[in-house]
């Protein structure tokens, strides 16, 4: 069997709020539950398992989407008034990037995680 990422734990101040935010923005089904985690499963079967913690250290999570999915996701970010950036350091607000012949942008989740949406994997032409 090839090695695959199955799930990862995402620390948050409010696991329900953070999971619902991500699912809503990405336009995927409502979060589920596994034990005490609130889970968001993405199309390739990987789940992000949200858990509460007092000390959240911001992480980076990138989501590869189809071109047709990009516009609705981007529109939801704009409709919610979320500040977005073309770059991971958040130095180019209000812009998207066109890296690797695709489109992408960054924004923060409610717990401060740096979330990225891209239409092409890094290293593609």
Domain residue extents for the chain: 7-118
Both structure tokens of 123: 């290293």
Q: Is it true that domain 7-118 has CATH number 3.10.180.10? A: yes
| pLDDT tens per residue, range 11-34 | 999 999 999 999 999 999 999 999
| CA 97, chain centre distance (Å) | 16
Mean confidence (pLDDT) of the chain: 96
> What is the average per-residue pLDDT within 80-84?
98
**pTM of the full predicted structure?**
0.95
Q: What is the pLDDT of residue 122?
A: 87
pLDDT tens-digit profile of 86-121? 999 999 999 999 999 999 999 999 999 999 999 999
What percent of the chain has pLDDT above 90? 95
Q: What's the pLDDT at 124?
A: 78
Classify residue 26 as left (phi > 0), alpha (psi -120 to 50) or beta: alpha
């Amino acid at each position: 069997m090839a090695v695959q990422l199955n799930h990862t734990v995402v620390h948050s101040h409010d696991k329900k709020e953070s999971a619902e935010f991500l699912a809503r923005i990405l336009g995927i089904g409502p979060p589920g539950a596994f034990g005490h985690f609130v889970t968001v499963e993405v199309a390739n079967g990987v789940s992000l398992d949200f858990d509460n913690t007092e000390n959240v250290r911001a992480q980076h999570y990138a989501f590869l989407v189809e071109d047709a999915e990009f516009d609705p996701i981007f529109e939801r970010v704009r409709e919610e008034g979320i500040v977005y950036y073309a770059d991971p350091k958040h130095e180019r607000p209000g812009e998207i990037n066109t890296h690797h012949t695709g489109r992408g942008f960054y924004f923060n989740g409610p717990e401060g995680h740096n979330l990225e949406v891209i239409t092409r994997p890094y290293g593609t032409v």
